[in-house]
Structure 1
Amino acid sequence: MASDYIVIGSGSAGAIIARRLADTGATVTLFEAGRTDRSRLVRKPGMIGPMHSVPQLKKLIDWGHYTVEQKHALGRTVPQTHGKVVGGSSSVNGMVFVRGNRRNFDDWAGEGNTGWSYEDVLPSFKKFESFEDGANQFRGDSGPIKVIRARDLTPASESFMQALTETAGVAHNPDYNGAEQDGVSILQQSNNNGLRYSTSVGYLDDRPKTLT
């Protein structure tokens, strides 16, 4: 049966576009040149280290792109991570969930980019997330991407955050994706039940869930 739409590439954008089209009742075929994301290498958060440091593993899930030589980095080329896998770079990133700073968006709008102010993009931020604390003025709780705070911090991490507040005067911030980004805070992750929550998981969620 012919599809109404063909989407090339199942990265972060492709997965979302395919789902949005499918939600209209259209039939959609989604093509991806890379591997499946249903593997422990991709889905297990603890694999992020070897995934990018072991060349034999990295070439399985990354296109291997590099920048041009960087003048201010002693002429070095710098890896540009680009996921070669279902879910694209959302399947190979560090799962650290951080929105752009409010001022970035407002500056873009101030330069004439209509629709790019923080207040303009905030509804989209809220729409795609399901934050563990629930919805408020800044956060959403019914979107397809699960967002939680990091679990089981080491005593050293706890002590470091406490020292920043007590000694360096850095204020504790309970939610750096909320009203204010500055401060010391536990990082947030696109993670659920100990597994990566990429756009492929959030938007292509009707596939078999078995890991290989």
Structure 2
Amino acid sequence: MDTGKVYGQWTCLQMLLAGRMISPDRRNILEKQMDTGGANSESASDTASARTAEGLATRSRNHYVIVGAGSAGCVLANRLSENVDDSVLLLEAGPKDLLLNSTRLSWKIHMPAALVYNLCDDKYNWFYHTRPQKHMDGRVMYWPRGRVWGGSSSLNAMVYIRGHAEDYNRWQREGADGWDYDHCLPYFRKAQTHELGANQYRGGSGPLHVSRGKTNHPLHCAFIEAGQQAGYPFTDDMNGYQQEGLGWMDMTIYKGKRWSTASAYLRPALSRPNLKTEVRCLTTKILFEGTKAVGVEYLQKGERKKVYADKEVILSGGAINSPQLLMLSGVGNGDDLKKLDIPVVSHLPGSNLQDHLELYVQQECIQPITLYKAQKPFHMIKIGLEWLLKYTGIAAGWV
């Protein structure tokens, strides 16, 4: 396929090359990796071992090679492997979302209230940080990204909220034919099973289970009431007709557990003989024949391996890693690539990636009605045991 059809979330960031959005330490790592054809973070010993093994690189062929088992990659692996005649290989840099050497789910990922653990740990998280931001008083911003089966859907806050209908309609007006809200809505519905049942906005038979937030704490109710007093409307469905307003959120939580794309799409497909998965393998380069992507090169346990795709190479490494991999492979801003001695396959510059910020607001309560006591050791153990035994309680849903 042509470079313009190397699929994925791949806005080619000049910032990644210029180092404007990466901390000094990560910039040094990135530049060293670009010089050696590597990507992301890998130890010097692993790199040296890989160079030794390069001449004995393992090679295999598949119809599709998918890089990244995240929010998009798990869906693609499921859908493409539905055709028994197509072989699919799914590569993931991180581990499975299971306990080590076990088939049991990792509680740190699947307990909804435990999401903070993975946001503060690099086991399942790329743990990116930006460079100091000029317009934010020079602050360095933390930028978590999933590095595990399910990707960021295994790390995020499990809030299920679609873009506003007008966002999609604007896409249509600006030339993205077929991407207006009326065209997208059937696919939103097809993907989900909502616990409140299907209607014109909700689905009832899709693989992604969606539930309505059930927390009925006095502070939740007081916040919604205060918002209405301030003139903001109440909405009983933020993904329905009235998207603006205050109310209870939809959550990707099912029977008390996080319902990531790994749970919704990947696990149901793992028994298919035409789907293969590899974990802890760092994809370092896209292999081209001219301008046609034909495979990828990756590192696994210090060994450099190559796999080839007869139909398509699909990048689903996320909004940071996919453009980085493209640039390391010669697809990006040609001027920047030449400065780093990376052969230019195609001059396709990109920039201006924007992400939403998260802001915490804390208020002092005049009555002892907060959840502060839940953070005390005894109560944390009690809450954790209830979840482990019954998948219920505070730990089963935080909104």
Instruction: Judge same fold: TM > 0.5, yes or no.
Output: yes
Residue 225 of structure 2 corresponds to residue 162 of structure 1: yes
SS at match of 2:90: strand
What are the superposed Cα offsets for residues 44-93 of structure 1, whole Å, 9 maximum, x if unpaired? Answer: 1111123223xxxx210111222333221112221222101001111100
Paired residue for 2:80?
Answer: 21
What are the superposed Cα offsets for residues 126-157 of structure 1, whole Å, 9 maximum, x if unpaired? Answer: 11111112111111111111111112321111
Cα deviation, residue 3, structure 1: 4.6
Q: Distance in 2 between matches of 1:77 and 1:169?
A: 35
* Equivalent residue runs for 1:8-87 within 5 Å: 8-25=67-84, 26-38=86-98, 39-53=106-120, 58-87=121-150
| RCO higher in structure (CA 8 A, sep ≥6) | 2
Give the number of equivalent residue pairs: 204
- Give, as a single letter, the amino acid of the residue that structure 1 aligns with 2:163: G
Residue 160 of structure 2 corresponds to residue 97 of structure 1: yes
Q: Distance in 1 between matches of 2:207 and 2:128?
A: 29
Which residue, out of 211, 225, 232, partners 1:148? Answer: 211
Q: After the TM superposition, which parts of structure 1 deviate over 6 Å for at least 4 consecutive aligned residues? A: none
Which residue, out of 105, 109, 113, partners 2:172? Answer: 109
Q: Distance in 1 between matches of 2:131 and 2:72?
A: 25
Could you list the runs of 5+ residues in structure 2 that have no partner in the other structure?
1-59, 99-105, 272-387, 389-399
SS at match of 1:61: coil
Q: Which has more radius of gyration? A: 2
Residue 243 of structure 2 corresponds to residue 181 of structure 1: yes
Q: Distance in 1 between matches of 2:123 and 2:61?
A: 31
Q: Distance in 2 between matches of 1:197 and 1:79?
A: 24
Cα deviation, residue 113, structure 1: 1.8
Q: Distance in 2 between matches of 1:64 and 1:170?
A: 36
Q: Distance in 1 between matches of 2:204 and 2:225?
A: 29
Q: Distance in 1 between matches of 2:216 and 2:165?
A: 28
- Give, as a single letter, the amino acid of the residue that structure 1 aligns with 2:66: V
- Give, as a single letter, the amino acid of the residue that structure 1 aligns with 2:90: L
SS at match of 2:240: coil
- Give, as a single letter, the amino acid of the residue that structure 1 aligns with 2:261: T
Paired residue for 2:103?
Answer: none
Cα deviation, residue 205, structure 1: 2.6
Q: Distance in 2 between matches of 1:3 and 1:35?
A: 22
Q: Distance in 2 between matches of 1:52 and 1:4?
A: 35
Residue 65 of structure 2 corresponds to residue 6 of structure 1: yes
| Percentage of identical aligned residues | 37
Q: Which moved more, 1:20-29 or 1:127-136?
A: 20-29
More strand by share: 2
Q: Distance in 2 between matches of 1:153 and 1:81?
A: 29
Q: Distance in 1 between matches of 2:114 and 2:253?
A: 13
Q: Distance in 2 between matches of 1:137 and 1:188?
A: 16
TM-score where L is the length of structure 1: 0.88
Could you list the runs of 5+ residues in structure 1 that have no partner in the other structure?
none
Cα deviation, residue 2, structure 1: 6.5
Cα deviation, residue 7, structure 1: 2.2
TM-score where L is the length of structure 2: 0.48
What are the superposed Cα offsets for residues 10-48 of structure 1, whole Å, 9 maximum, x if unpaired? Answer: 111111111001112233232211011121111111111
**CA RMSD after TM alignment:** 2.0
Q: Distance in 1 between matches of 2:213 and 2:155?
A: 18
